[in-house]
Amino acid sequence: MCDWVEASSEEHADFMTIQAPRHSISLTRRIEATPAKIYAAWTEPETMARWLGKVAADVRVGGRYRFESPAPGGTTYIYTGEYLVLEENRRVAQTFLAGEPDPHAPRPYHNEFIEIQIRRLEGSASEVSFVNGWDGDSIGEDGEAAAKAAWSQWLDQMEQAVLKS
């Protein structure tokens, strides 16, 4: 387990009262896997590590996580947050912060979260709906396109990990 930088409940206390984020990006994808396998890719640290990199996660509502994802050129991206909703085989919602948490650094985005909804389709296929929402600054059209491409890459990696399990 890793040591967590505390920025939890007070920082995210207003999250649950938000009806809709000011900004969001949504993706939907059909994956040839059961909801249980997809849910495991977001909630079982061993499965998560196959597509996210190094993972430390206390998978329970209120539990915290940290992902360290390798990137080309030796860069490592760090993501942290707290689990907000865990509905087995249906839904995962969590706060999301890119980079090391620094309570003294100004952030252009706040109340950022990601949410995954899983819906069973025919056979063993599932539909995955992904939302990244936040309040604060807009990222503009170019930023939105780049973010969608990055989230699509994450979903590609998750799908490959699920298909191999």
Place of tokens 């170019």: 142
Residue 64, CA atoms < 13 Å, CB-side half-sphere: 16
Percentage of residues in the chain with pLDDT exceeding 70? Answer: 88
Domain ranges (residues) in the chain: 23-164
pLDDT of residue 17: 42
pLDDT reading at 76 higher than 70: yes
Segment 95-140, tens digit of pLDDT: 999 887 777 877 778 889 999 999 999 988 999 999 999 998 889 9
How would residue 1 be classed by pLDDT, with cut points 50, 70 and 90? very low
* Global confidence as pTM: 0.82
pLDDT reading at 46 higher than 90: yes
Residue among 116, 98, 80 nearest 8 (CA): 80
CATH number of 23-164: 3.30.530.20
pLDDT of residue 19: 53
Beta strands at 97-98 and 54-57: parallel, antiparallel or unpaired: unpaired
